[in-house]
A = this chain, B = another copy of it.
Amino acid sequence: MKKEPGVSQRYGLKRAILSLGPSGFPFESFFARVLEYYGFKTTTGNKIRGKRIIHEVDIVAIKDKKWMIECKYHNEAGTITKLHPAMYTYARFLDLGKHHFDSPWLVTNTRCSEDAIEYAKGVGLRVTAWKFPKDENLEKLIEEKKLYPITILKNLSERVLNEIYQLKIVVAKDLLDFSPSELAKKTSLNEKDAVKVLEEVKIISA
């Protein structure tokens, strides 16, 4: 019976990721943290000079090689990431030049159109989308290590979510670094509610 809430929470993953956006928690912070759990070193919000202009690179991720990651975030369910983001991600990679990055990588919280995926294969652009590729897709990367975003937690007010995000926490599991009293001290939760929140985090992260 103890598993029940965890299961139902996990069903809410897609919705929780969709609600990162409206809450103002950037998807790139979330995905960068997911990558860290997989052994990447990451930085977000990078500004890097290309041939003539400064590009914003959502995530720079290093593990064996250096990846230029573009995050394409949609906060409406049912949206699909089409060809254009794949093309401009590749063009940005080219403009930054081989001396900056080894490979380009497009990450999105939605599905990808078939031509976007085919194009990406052709130019060597790695794509991580919802349910694509079969392995190591966004859902699996999260589920595998239970890296649910804080927006999956129930009964948290927007105010508390924001306070947690101010602590640089966007993956729920990371809350387990705090004791209930620490969490209560750093947010507007009282200690009793902090206990409940951490209990919920333990269940979904188990």
Given the known interface contacts A51-B122, A115-B53, A115-B54, the answer about A91 and B95 at a Cβ–Cβ threshold of 8 Å is: no
Q: Is the CB of A119 within 8 A of B53?
A: yes
Choose the segment among A31-39, A80-88, A154-162, A170-178 that binds chain B (4+ C-beta atoms closer than 8 Å). Answer: A80-88
Q: How many copies does the complex hold?
A: 2
A122: chain B residues at CB < 8 Å are 50-53, 95
Given the known interface contacts A90-B91, A91-B90, A91-B91, the answer about A52 and B119 at a Cβ–Cβ threshold of 8 Å is: yes
Contact pattern, A 115-149, Cβ under 8 Å of B = 1, otherwise 0: 10011011100000000000000000000000000
- Category for how many chain A residues contact B: 20 to 34
A111 at the interface (CB under 8 A from B): no
Given the known interface contacts A52-B121, A121-B52, the answer about A87 and B83 at a Cβ–Cβ threshold of 8 Å is: no
Q: Is the CB of B118 within 8 A of A52?
A: yes
Q: Is the CB of B95 within 8 A of A119?
A: yes
Q: How far is B199's CA from A117's CA once the two chains are assembled, in angstroms?
A: 53
A145 to chain B, nearest CB (A): 32
A92 at the interface (CB under 8 A from B): yes
A95 to chain B, nearest CB (A): 7
Q: How far is B55's CA from A118's CA once the two chains are assembled, in angstroms?
A: 12
A95: chain B residues at CB < 8 Å are 87, 119, 122-123
Contacts A52-B121, A95-B122 aside, 9 further interface pairs with beta carbons under 8 A come to A52-B118, A53-B83, A84-B84, A87-B88, A87-B91, A90-B91, A94-B94, A95-B119, A95-B123
Q: Could you list which residues of chain A lie within 8 angstroms of chain B, going by C-beta atoms? A: 50-54, 83-84, 87-88, 90-92, 94-95, 115, 118-119, 121-123
